[in-house]
Amino acid sequence: MSAGIDTYEKLLLHKNIYVAVQKDFIRNLRREIKSRYKTLSIYNRKRLKLKECTFKYMFKKYAMTFQFSRLVEIALDCGLTKETVFNNILGFRVSGSHRNGIIKIPRIIKIDEYFVEGYALYLAEGDTGLSGKKNPRKFRFTNSEISVINHFIEWIRRYLPGIDFYISVIVPSSKNLQYNEKMRILQTLNVNRNKVKFCSGAYNKKVKYRICLDSSIIIDLMLSMNETVKSAASDSHSHAAAYVRGIMIGEGTAYNNKYSYVKLEMRNEKEVKFVSYLLEKLGICCTVKERHTRRGMWTVFIGRKDSILRFHRLIGFGVHEKRQLILDQIINNKIDSISVNPGVAVSTRLLVAKVEKK
């Protein structure tokens, strides 16, 4: 499955999105309005009913950007198609933005497995507002593993080429980062050094890395794709595995001590239950429950021997090297003696017991 998302159609739904277009297109649009309605003022009074100065400003030589949905409406009134407008777009900006430049966004984004994995990873570790506590206006992704950060950098470069971003290295206020450590970080991150900023974080216990795209257009676009990506994951086993892998890279864990199991914890109940649905679709048994000690924190638990094996074969932890290493150790060293955590539901313990008898 490799369907694509039309980003222009998604952005058209947002009233605060403005576009820069070819100057010739605006001149032709002006001529079409006059040929059909005689004057700009008559058209405005009949169709748009905007303030006269607001409408006429669109056709001044120094006008740079135009409200996207309004421009499409005018074009349709003049017998032009949406596609004609789309073909003349140079870039996008958002109303009220302090950035002077426009952002160029690819028209079609292919919904392949790599995109689905990165998108799910963003849902797990990025600023989304999906937990209902905030409404982010920037596209930001935070993680403590450089391998995960570099993976997400490549995801941005593949699907949002040319979009400018920078990385904040957040150092715990109690930690004095030495020069050699800073140089190691700069050499390991897959970006130019002038795109890396070091700052202090009072709440951090270890160094974290935050990728920042200071654009509300990108966050609005990405969040508008949520249902489309989930639909792709529901329709294809390979996309389902990629989706779960992305979530697990961000929020999953693997344990290989007295008990061996795989677990996911998130506050987003809807997301947790969707991951559970995908796991069951892939033939991986799991249990979902809310933690009694932390209300609002939801857990997906994989404890069955055959389910851990299947999780390892189909999904894994991808680029998260530390978690993947633990999962590999479970498979290689302890798969014959996997025990289930006593905190898991009784039904799951009974299932494990049946498997171990076989």
The model's pLDDT over 65-97, given as tens digits with 9 standing for 90+, comes to: 899 999 999 999 999 999 999 999 999 998 755
Given this model, what pLDDT does residue 347 score?
38
How far is the first Cα of the chain from the last one, in angstroms, to the nearest whole number?
A: 37
Last residue of one domain, picked from the residues 69, 94, 119: 94
Q: What is the CATH number of the domain that holds 280?
A: 3.10.28.10
State which of 52-61, 289-298, 330-339 shows the largest mean pLDDT.
289-298
Q: Which of 22-26, 94-98, 329-333, 345-349 has the lowest mean pLDDT?
A: 345-349
Q: How confident is the model at residue 335 (pLDDT cuts 50, 70, 90)?
A: low
d(CA 4, CA 107): 9
Contact 38, 88 (CB under 8 A): no
Residue 11 lies in a domain: no
Distance of CA 260 to the CA centre of its chain: 30
Q: How confident is the model at residue 131 (pLDDT cuts 50, 70, 90)?
A: low
Contact 148, 249 (CB under 8 A): yes
pTM beyond 0.75:
yes
Residue pointed to by tokens 């074009």: 75
Last residue of one domain, picked from the residues 47, 67, 94: 94
pLDDT at 342 over 50: no
Residue 22 lies in a domain: yes
Q: Are residues 118 and 211 in the same domain?
A: yes
Q: Which residue has the higher pLDDT, 344 or 208?
A: 208
Name the amino acid, one letter, at 256.
Answer: N
Q: Which two tokens stand for residue 200?
A: 């202090």
Given this model, what pLDDT does residue 333 score?
76
pLDDT at 340 over 50: no
Residue 301 lies in a domain: yes
Q: Which of 141-145, 159-163, 203-207 has the lowest mean pLDDT?
A: 203-207
Q: CA angle at residue 85 from 80 to 87, to 5 degrees? A: 120
Q: Are residues 39 and 66 in the same domain?
A: yes
Question: Number of folded domains in the chain?
Answer: 3
Q: What is the CATH number of the domain that holds 83?
A: 1.10.260
Given this model, what pLDDT does residue 163 score?
92
pLDDT at 104 over 70: yes
Q: Are residues 142 and 61 in the same domain?
A: no
Identify the sign of the CA torsion 323, 320, 324, 353.
Answer: positive
d(CA 58, CA 23): 11
Q: Are residues 279 and 302 in the same domain?
A: yes
Residue 315 lies in a domain: yes
Contact 8, 54 (CB under 8 A): no
Residue pointed to by tokens 């150092």: 171
Q: How confident is the model at residue 129 (pLDDT cuts 50, 70, 90)?
A: low
Q: Are residues 117 and 216 in the same domain?
A: yes
Those residues whose C-beta lies under 8 Å from the C-beta of residue 350, and which sit 6 or more positions away, are none
pLDDT at 350 over 50: no
Provide the residue range defining the domain that includes 86. Answer: 17-94
Q: Are residues 258 and 214 in the same domain?
A: no
Q: Which of 106-110, 203-207, 352-356 has the lowest mean pLDDT?
A: 352-356
Residue 230 lies in a domain: no
